[in-house]
Amino acid sequence: MRSYIPLLFGIFSCIALVLATAGIYGVMAYFVTQRTREIGIRIALGAQWRDVLKLILGSGMLLVTIGLIIGLAGALTLTRLMTSLLFEVSPTDPITFGVVALCVILAALLACYIPARRAIKVAPLVALRYE
């Protein structure tokens, strides 16, 4: 009877990861759209593509880091409630927490990289005429 519970946890965690990735992508795409003019000016003044990439990825990963810290702290406190649902794994298994954090970071990097690539390709004259 309990064999479906880990399967449901796995399915819901994958859905949560997809939703989080879509949310981060949406926020970063909006961020890039709002700052198109600034990015164009930076490129016109000589900013390299690495600088623009670092600007966008840095701001996105800052938000992800804050969310990851809050999420891991909440997960550590709530694992006591799930002890009866875990099989052959301790409630605070560091490998599990590390793998989950790594998956979230990789998904967030992908979600931030796509708008960053779009921002790199902005032509300065088009960005200055934007709006």
Sequential DSSP letters for 34-95: HTHHHHHHHHHTT--HHHHHHHHHHHHHHHHHHHHHHHHHHHHHHTTTTGGG-SSS-TT-HH
At residue 78, the pLDDT reads 86
User: Is residue 105 within 8 Å of 68, Cβ to Cβ?
Assistant: yes
The sign of the dihedral angle between the CA atoms of 33, 38, 42, 44 is positive
pLDDT of residue 1: 54
pLDDT at 7 (0 to 100) = 86
How many angstroms separate the CA atoms of 13 and 4, rounded?
14
Residue 112 Cα distances to 4, 35, 102, 129, angstroms: 34, 14, 15, 25
So what's the pLDDT on residue 68? Answer: 93
Tokens of 75: 């997960």
Q: Give CA–CA dist 37/41, Å, rounded.
A: 6
What's the rounded Cα separation, in Å, for the pair 19 and 4? Answer: 22
Gap between the Cα atoms of 88 and 73, Å rounded? 22
pLDDT at 15: 96
Q: Alpha-carbon torsion 64, 66, 71, 73, what sign? A: positive
Tens of pLDDT along the chain (131 residues)? 567 877 888 899 999 999 999 999 999 999 988 888 888 888 888 888 899 899 999 998 998 999 999 999 998 888 878 777 777 778 888 898 899 899 999 999 999 999 989 888 877 777 777 55
